[in-house]
Amino acid sequence: MATYIIGDLQGCFDELMQLLKQIDYDPAQDELWFAGDIVNRGPKSLECLQFVKNLNAQGKAKMVLGNHDFQLLAAYCGLHDYASKSDTLGDILSHSEVDKLIDWLRQQPLMIHHPLHPVALVHAGVPPQWCIDEALSHAKEVESILRGDQWQDFIRNHLFGAKPKQWHDGLQGWARLRYIANAFTRMRYCNAEGKLEFKQKNKPKPGASTRTDYLPWFAHANRRNKTSDIFFGHWSTLGVMDAYHVHSIDTGCLWGGYLTAYCLETHKRHTLSCNIICQPKTKC
């Protein structure tokens, strides 16, 4: 039995099938954890969503929600303000079972913790000021809204937006939920108190000024969630990062990089080169 954590699929279903073949994946024995952004931008979002949903129903897969998964929920809710020309969600939205697919997707978590080992999975990151238990508790706040009757109101009217950037325990209402969702699904850089910075998307430049307060979320010395190893996707330009008690697993399959499956038991990274199949600037 093996547990593989798999990076952002973004509709790259053929690449996923090839990688699973390469690692001798056994659906009867092995478990797959997906880092979110399973849909959008790539060519086969519907196939990815159906695959993860079916395995999840058998207890053989888990996923966390990413910003592109929220993009799909928004499109389903009729919110087009944040749609992009690069979106490839049409196959899902026009599918006869779209209601069932969306109903399942909106009930997926923002953070997963292994039942036995100190290992967690999120799409983007965990702010430095939250310990693991606090992070899981804050994730549940958003998850319970997404699972309840108000979920469409939340997605349509309250989820999108960059503010508030600064967390404090007294944050309330939609602003509190928006910070939590942004941290888990969009964050790359923040300051030591968890103030979010969305403009910078590249990896830190070697030798860059150290005067800035903003560092990759995992690089803050005071980070309170180092007690579990945190796996995360979302940051394809970061490259492989196995340090600071974190592991990056979005290695940019969609952009002609690699699709990664990290085996929790062996600590081995398995990768499939996506250069040939999914070149950037094509329909992918």
Query: Cβ distance 132 to 120 under 8 Å?
Result: yes
Per-position DSSP letters for 230-276, written without gaps between them: EEE-S-GGG---EETTEEE---BGGGTSEEEEEETTTTEEEEEE-TT
Stretch that binds Mn ion, among 33-41, 72-80, 150-158, 276-284 (CB under 5 A): 33-41
- By CB under 5 A, tell whether 188 contacts Mn ion: no
Q: How far apart are CA 71 and CA 83, in angstroms?
A: 7
Query: Cβ distance 40 to 117 under 8 Å?
Result: no
Q: How far apart are CA 59 and CA 53, in angstroms?
A: 10
- By CB under 5 A, tell whether 41 contacts Mn ion: no
What is the closest distance, in whole angstroms, from the C-beta atom of residue 168 to Mn ion in the complex? 25
Stretch that binds Mn ion, among 30-38, 52-60, 149-157, 272-280 (CB under 5 A): 30-38
What is the closest distance, in whole angstroms, from the C-beta atom of residue 1 to Mn ion in the complex? 29
What is the closest distance, in whole angstroms, from the C-beta atom of residue 123 to Mn ion in the complex? 6
- By CB under 5 A, tell whether 67 contacts Mn ion: yes
Among residues 113, 176, 226, 234, the one that binds Mn ion under rule CB under 5 A:
234
Which is closer to Mn ion, CB of 12 or CB of 30?
A: 12
CB proximity list for 236: less than 8 A, separation 6 or greater: 8, 250, 251, 252, 254, 255, 257
Per-position DSSP letters for 54-74, written without gaps between them: HHHHTTSEEE---HHHHHHHH
Among residues 7, 66, 127, 128, the one that binds Mn ion under rule CB under 5 A:
66
Which is closer to Mn ion, CB of 67 or CB of 225?
A: 67
What is the closest distance, in whole angstroms, from the C-beta atom of residue 222 to Mn ion in the complex? 26
What is the closest distance, in whole angstroms, from the C-beta atom of residue 132 to Mn ion in the complex? 21
Stretch that binds Mn ion, among 37-45, 96-104, 142-150, 193-201 (CB under 5 A): 37-45
Residue 166 has phi, psi (to 5 degrees) of -105, 130
What is the closest distance, in whole angstroms, from the C-beta atom of residue 22 to Mn ion in the complex? 24
Name the CA radius of gyration of the chain, rounded.
18
Stretch that binds Mn ion, among 32-40, 73-81, 160-168, 208-216 (CB under 5 A): 32-40
Which is closer to Mn ion, CB of 30 or CB of 37?
A: 37
In a 10 Å sphere around its CB, with 0-12 CB exposed, 13-18 middle and 19+ buried, how is residue 64 labelled? buried
270 CB-side CA count, 13 A: 21
Total binding residues toward Mn ion, as defined by CB under 5 A: 4
Which is closer to Mn ion, CB of 60 or CB of 203?
A: 203
Which is closer to Mn ion, CB of 44 or CB of 123?
A: 123
Residue 270 has phi, psi (to 5 degrees) of -105, 135
Among residues 15, 37, 87, 229, the one that binds Mn ion under rule CB under 5 A:
37
Stretch that binds Mn ion, among 16-24, 111-119, 163-171, 233-241 (CB under 5 A): 233-241
| CA nearest to 63, candidates 49, 77, 76, 74 | 49
Residue 5 has phi, psi (to 5 degrees) of -100, 125
Enumerate binding residues for Mn ion (CB under 5 A).
37, 66-67, 234
